Structure 1
Amino acid sequence: MNRQKSFANDQEGIGKLYVVGTPIGNLNEMSPRAIDVLKTVDLIAAEDTRHTRKLLSYFEFSTPLISLHEHNEVSKTEDIVQQLLAGKSVAVVSDAGMPAISDPGEVLVDAALKAGISVIPVSGPNAAINALVASGIAAQPFTFIGFLPRQKKERQKELQRWSKMPTTLIFYEAPHRVKQMLHDCAAILGDRKAAVARELTKKHEEWLRGTIAEIINYLEGAEILGEYCVVIEGSTDNEDDTHNNWWNDLEVVQHVQHYIEGGMDKKSAIRQVANDRGVPKREIYQIYHEH
């Protein structure tokens, strides 16, 4: 068991590790407390020191920086823990939002706690929570999943893991993969209520709310820019037990028509049906046009 009194002086000679949230786009969301912590610590462990140096410069102060990113977190953690044990205070930050949430920080936090070092969170913006509360989808319970695997087969396998969860699902996705990711969501989860947010807190913040099919249809002809946060409603009690095969009783033409009625254009609907059934797109195209 670990008992921590964050602001008691019961660890004389040992530093504290601060997990500090930073803006996800709008610098005005940087809290006074976060600024104060970053000003006064001995060292900041940053995901990208160049990015964090710009942040510090904007608020007109300078604190020594050390890099801590996904490729060096394990190797750098031991050194940072030794500095904490020697009495230095350290803040860990990511490029945006809260560290350790789809960003570096988790390994360092775990190692610090095992070494008996106090770990103190300093609240800040988070894209997942922002997207959730404005999505129009049930805010609780929810399950944060983050980034899905990049490869289609692994991505679909991971979606299958969560397909029967009754909780709202939250994902992060890169712009060049978001359309295919949503196609896979439609195939595995069904055409559920969803919301997609991009460029949260920034000048070009944009929301798409509707069904997965409606959002896919819009994105087919849209310019895809910025990082995306995807919120999808959870499984409901009246969903078919076979879940990802909800279309079993539909003929191919009915299956295609289902997606068209949901907002997809014909080309996208045929592609999605082929994806659902695991058959070549030309086969669905031929059957649909023959009827």
Structure 2
Amino acid sequence: MKSSLGKLYLIPTTLGDNEPLEVLPISVKTIIENTTVFIVENEKTARRFIKRISPDTVQSDLKMFHLNKFTESSDLPSFLEPCLAGTNVGLLSEAGCPSVADPGSDVVKIAHEQGVQVVPLVGPSSILLALMSSGMNGQGFSFNGYLPIDKSERKQELKRLERLSFDHNQSQIFIETPYRNNKMLEDLSNTLGKNTMVCVACDITLPTEFIKTKPASEWSKNTEDLHKRPSIFIIHKS
């Protein structure tokens, strides 16, 4: 193994169809311009993003490893072979930050095991941006991913998260498949205590951004259509 290893750059992307440099620092553009090997979830969208932020990049020069639900775990070490040969590799998120509610953490783990330097780059995280703008506890919080689809199980989980929030003064963050957002908000309004605070952060960083925090009981009057719009939900009971 060479003593001079390449680095693994964790490259964030936009949260929607806005101009990359509106939400990403110039350092991200610089890294992309100087990287030819990428680990991506979707090659088509990854190439489109690279073209937008770095129009002069020659697409045929790029090598891409695919990291998705079909990728075998045994294939992951090979993705870092360029690093072992001294070449930098970029782990490119599909939306937001790599490895945070996004594939990539297993590759990062292997990089640490192999002594490859991991370099996270600054970019938008919908989870943190939602928490920042919620007015809820930013020193004690938990991200819970997706809640159960089954109605009774989802209701039980919401009540459990509400109890956790109260017992530990902890903001509880979760997401939903975008086409079920309106149903989720309805369930929040009908399941939680009337004074439990609920934040909905939708289309973060986009022109259609909608962020609002109010008691669960007041969300029953909601007129904002969340259907198929990426959203973060946060609850807090005090």
TM bracket, shorter-chain basis: 0.7 to 0.9
The CA distance in 1 between the partners of 2:156 and 2:117, in whole Å, is 38
In the other structure, the counterpart of 1:19 is 10
TM score, norm. by length of structure 2: 0.82
Q: Paired residue for 1:212, among 216, 223, 232?
A: 216
Q: Could you tell me how far apart the structure 2 residues matched to 1:110 and 1:212 are?
A: 39
- Tell me the residue number matched to 1:255: none
1:164 alignment counterpart: 164
Secondary structure of residue in 2 paired with 1:195: strand
Equivalent residue for 1:230, pick from 229, 233, 238: 233
Q: Indicate yes or no: 2:100 matched with 1:96.
A: no
2:50 alignment counterpart? 56
Query: Would you say how many aligned residue pairs link Structure 1 and Structure 2?
Result: 224
CA distance 1:73–1:188, shift in 2 (3 Å): farther
Q: CA deviation at 1:193?
A: 0.9
Aligned-residue offset at 1:194 = 1.3
Pick aligned residue for 1:174 from 177, 202, 207: 177
Change (3 A) 1:155 1:72: farther
Q: What displacement does 1:227 show?
A: 1.0
Say if 1:218 and 1:183 are closer, same or farther in 2 by CA, change over 3 A.
closer
In the TM superposition, residue 199 of structure 1 has moved relative to its aligned partner by 1.1
- Residue 41 of structure 1 pairs with residue 40 of structure 2: no
Normalised TM-score (structure 1): 0.69
The answer to whether the 8 A contact 1:183-1:216 is kept is yes
Assess if the C-alpha contact under 8 Å between 2:5 and 2:84 holds in 1.
Answer: yes
> Which moved further from structure 2: 115-124 or 221-230?
221-230
Would the alpha carbon gap of residues 156 and 70 (structure 1) be closer, same or farther in structure 2, given more than 3 Å must change?
farther
Corresponding letter in the other structure for 2:176: E
Shift of 1:80: 0.8
Partners of 1:113 and 1:30 in 2: how far apart? 26
Shift, 1:222, TM fit: 3.7
2:41 maps to a residue whose letter is: E
**Percent identity over the alignment?**
28
* Alpha-carbon distance in structure 1 between the residues aligned to 2:102 and 2:84: 24
1:132–1:231 Cα contact (<8 Å) kept: yes
Q: Which 5+ residue runs of structure 1 have no aligned equivalent?
A: 1-10, 237-291
Q: Does 2:139 align with 1:140?
A: yes
Is the CA contact (8 Å cut-off) linking 1:137 and 1:194 kept in structure 2? Answer: no
In 2, Cα distance between equivalents of 1:120 and 1:100: 12
Q: Give the Cα separation in 1 of the matches to 2:144 and 2:64.
A: 30
1:21 and 1:125 in contact (8 A); partners too: yes
Give the 3 Å change call, closer, same or farther, for CA 186–76 of structure 1 in structure 2.
Answer: farther
Give the secondary structure class of the aligned counterpart of 2:222: helix
**2:68 corresponding residue in structure 1:** 69
Partners of 1:43 and 1:89 within 8 A in 2: yes
User: What's the RMSD between the two structures over aligned residues?
Assistant: 2.4
How far apart are the structure 1 equivalents of 2:178 and 2:106?
A: 27
In 2, are the aligned partners of 1:73 and 1:104 still within 8 Å (CA)? Answer: no
Q: 1:184 to 1:80 in 2, by over 3 A?
A: same
Bigger CA drift: 88-97 or 129-138? 129-138
Aligned residue in 2 for 1:198: 202
Which AA in structure 1 matches 2:218? E
- SS of equivalent residue, structure 1 residue 35: helix
- Tell me the alpha carbon deviations over residues 141-165 of structure 1, each in whole angstroms, 9 at most, x when there is no partner: 2222222233334434544553323
For residues 64 and 152 of structure 2, the distance between their equivalents in structure 1, rounded to whole angstroms, comes to 40
- Residue 95 of structure 1 and its aligned partner are, at CA, apart by 1.2
**Given residue 172 of structure 1, which amino acid in structure 2 is its aligned partner?**
I
SS of the residue 2:212 aligns to:
strand
Displacement of 1:117 in angstroms is 1.5
Q: How far has the Cα of 1:88 moved from its partner?
A: 2.2
Higher relative contact order (CA 8 A, sep 6+): 2
Report SS of the residue matched to 2:178.
coil
